[in-house]
């Protein structure tokens, strides 16, 4: 097993894991506030398409990213309006929004680029090489020669952790998912907190989707996200709603996908699909295991009031 193979594997792991990490870091905030944002997939897809189109036409990758992020927020805005303000069922609303997002993106893409013989593509985000560190053996090329967005994603982990556990805002957010009435009783607005959390999730998903096409693959195909939004949700569960654990979970999911492409090269004779299904099964196991433990969220399946719409009432 040569060094290049391992480096290739690790690099692929990071590349694959980054969109997932973005999505998960966004979703964790939404779920901590009590909203199961299944429309994360839709946000990611919207971000992917819009960022691609903008980057393709303007040749400005970062502009594409920006607009893609906004697209993700737009989807999340609809989700927030329906679930938080109109108190609709979160599971159903998220599912339908995903269907809508898929339809819209397919439709728009078909109009714009459907008839081209070969799918249009864009150049990828350039790697930002960190001087000095990138020359380290092994981890140098793996960790320190990545596009800027990867560094941003990784740095977001401690930033999210800091926010959640060391600020009053994070305290309020966590409280909202555990007991919105307690939050309302101290005069804060559950509505506002949930809106912000869901919009943030959309933003992150939008960026994740943008990175997927502009940083990882370089082109767009219909349904390019292929369920990555749901994988991000699984990562949040697997990481037990903790940003640091989520980093590990995202790496794990990225690793299994990177691994299954390289099984032969690595001399492992395991069917690739088993490796791919492993993370999902482990999520279920993780849920079962955390039944006993005293986690940082109210129940093994997340914050106590997850998926429960909160209706404002004068206590």
Of residues 216-245, which lie at the interface with other proteins (CB under 8 A)? 227, 230, 233-234, 237
Q: Name the minimum Å distance from CB 295 to other proteins.
A: 8
Query: Is residue 113 a contact point for other proteins (CB under 8 A)?
Result: no
Query: Is residue 112 a contact point for other proteins (CB under 8 A)?
Result: no
| Cβ-based nearer residue to other proteins, 150 or 235 | 235
Rounded to whole angstroms, the Cα distance separating 286 from 280 reads 10
Q: Name the minimum Å distance from CB 11 to other proteins.
A: 24
Query: Is residue 308 a contact point for other proteins (CB under 8 A)?
Result: yes
Residue 92 dihedral angles phi and psi, to the nearest 5°: -65, -45
Q: Name the minimum Å distance from CB 28 to other proteins.
A: 14
Query: Is residue 268 a contact point for other proteins (CB under 8 A)?
Result: no
Residue 302 dihedral angles phi and psi, to the nearest 5°: 120, -170
Q: Name the minimum Å distance from CB 126 to other proteins.
A: 33
The stretch among 62-70, 118-126, 166-174, 211-219 that binds other proteins (CB under 8 A) is 166-174
Which of 4, 58, 123, 185 is in the footprint of other proteins by CB under 8 A?
185
Q: Name the minimum Å distance from CB 163 to other proteins.
A: 10
Q: Name the minimum Å distance from CB 253 to other proteins.
A: 11
Which of 48, 69, 97, 224 is in the footprint of other proteins by CB under 8 A?
97
Rounded to whole angstroms, the Cα distance separating 40 from 161 reads 21
Burial state string for 76-91 with b = 16 or more CB within 10 A and e = fewer than 16: bebbbebbbeeebebe
Which of 5, 57, 58, 107 is in the footprint of other proteins by CB under 8 A?
107
Query: Is residue 95 a contact point for other proteins (CB under 8 A)?
Result: yes
Q: With left for phi above 0 and alpha for psi between -120 and 50, is residue 307 left, alpha or beta?
A: left
Query: Is residue 161 a contact point for other proteins (CB under 8 A)?
Result: no
- Whether 100 and 42 have beta carbons less than 8 Å apart is answered as yes
Query: Is residue 119 a contact point for other proteins (CB under 8 A)?
Result: no
| Cβ-based nearer residue to other proteins, 15 or 36 | 36
Number of residues that bind other proteins (CB under 8 A): 74
| Cβ-based nearer residue to other proteins, 144 or 220 | 220
The stretch among 13-21, 68-76, 206-214, 303-311 that binds other proteins (CB under 8 A) is 303-311
CA-to-CA dists, residue 64 to 130, 133, 153, 250, 274, angstroms:
24, 29, 17, 24, 36
Query: Is residue 159 a contact point for other proteins (CB under 8 A)?
Result: no
Which of 100, 112, 130, 196 is in the footprint of other proteins by CB under 8 A?
100
Tokens representing residue 225 in the block: 């996200």
């Amino acid at each position: 097993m040569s060094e290049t193979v391992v480096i290739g594997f690790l690099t692929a792991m990071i590349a694959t894991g980054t969109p997932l990490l973005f999505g998960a870091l966004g979703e964790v905030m939404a779920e901590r506030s009590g909203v199961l944002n299944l429309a994360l997939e839709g946000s990611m897809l919207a971000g992917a398409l819009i960022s691609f189109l903008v980057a393709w036409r303007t040749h400005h990758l970062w502009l594409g990213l920006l607009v893609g992020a906004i697209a993700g927020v737009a989807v999340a805005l609809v989700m927030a309006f329906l679930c938080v303000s109109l108190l609709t069922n979160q599971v159903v609303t998220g599912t339908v929004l995903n269907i809508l997002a898929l339809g819209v993106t397919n439709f728009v893409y078909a109009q714009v680029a459907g008839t081209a013989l070969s799918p249009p593509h864009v150049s990828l985000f350039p790697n930002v090489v960190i001087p000095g560190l990138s020359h380290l053996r092994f981890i140098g090329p793996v960790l320190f020669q990545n596009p800027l967005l990867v560094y941003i994603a990784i740095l977001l982990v401690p930033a999210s952790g800091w926010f959640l556990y060391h600020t009053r805002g994070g305290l309020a957010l966590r409280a909202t998912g555990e007991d919105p009435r307690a939050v309302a009783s101290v005069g804060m607005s559950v509505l506002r907190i949930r809106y912000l959390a869901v919009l943030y999730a959309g933003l992150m998903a939008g960026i994740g989707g943008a990175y997927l096409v502009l940083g990882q693959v370089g082109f767009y195909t219909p349904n390019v996200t292929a369920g990555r939004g749901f994988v991000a949700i699984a990562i949040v569960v697997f990481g037990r709603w903790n940003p640091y654990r989520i980093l590990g979970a995202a790496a794990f999911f990225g690793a299994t996908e990177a691994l299954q492409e390289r099984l032969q090269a690595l001399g492992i004779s395991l069917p690739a699909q088993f490796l791919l299904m492993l993370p999902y099964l482990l999520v279920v196991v993780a849920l079962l295991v955390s039944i006993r433990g005293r986690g940082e969220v109210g129940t093994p399946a997340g914050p106590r009031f997850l998926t429960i719409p909160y209706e404002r009432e004068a206590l």
